[in-house]
Amino acid sequence: MTSLHALIADITTLKVDAIVNAANSSLLGGGGVDGAIHRAAGPGLLAECRLLGGCRTGSAKLTGGHDLPARHVIHTVGPVWQGGRHGEAELLAACYRNSLEQAEAHRLHSIAFPCISTGVYGYPADEAAVIAVRTVRGFVDAGCTLTDVLFCCFSETNLALYQALLNGPPDPAANERSR
pLDDT, tens only, 14-44? 999 999 999 999 999 999 999 999 999 999 9
pLDDT at 1: 87
The proportion of the chain whose per-residue pLDDT surpasses 90, expressed as a percent, equals: 93
- Are 161 and 129 in contact by the 8 Å Cβ rule? The answer is yes
Look at residue 74 and tell me whether its pLDDT is greater than 50. yes
95-99 long-range contacts (CB < 8 A, ≥24 apart) are 95/58, 95/60, 96/131, 96/132, 96/135, 96/136, 96/139, 97/135, 97/139, 97/178, 97/179, 98/58, 98/59, 98/60, 99/20, 99/60, 99/74
Q: Reduce the secondary structure of 143-174 to three states and give it as a string.
A: CCCCCEEEEEECCHHHHHHHHHHHHCCCCCCH
pLDDT in tens, 140-154: 999 999 999 999 999
pLDDT at 9: 97
Task: Select which of 10, 34, 67, 171 is catalytic.
Answer: 34
* Residue 8 per-residue DSSP state: E
Average pLDDT (97-110) is: 98
- Report phi then psi at 20, rounded to 5: -100, 135
CA-CA distance, 127 to 77, in Å (whole number)?
17
pLDDT at 3: 97
- Are 96 and 139 in contact by the 8 Å Cβ rule? The answer is yes
pLDDT at 170: 62
pLDDT at 151: 98
- Are 146 and 14 in contact by the 8 Å Cβ rule? The answer is no
Q: Give the SS3 label for residue 17.
A: coil
- Are 34 and 63 in contact by the 8 Å Cβ rule? The answer is no
Strands 18-23 and 148-153 come out as: unpaired
What's the whole-number average pLDDT of the chain? 94
Residue 148 designated active-site = no
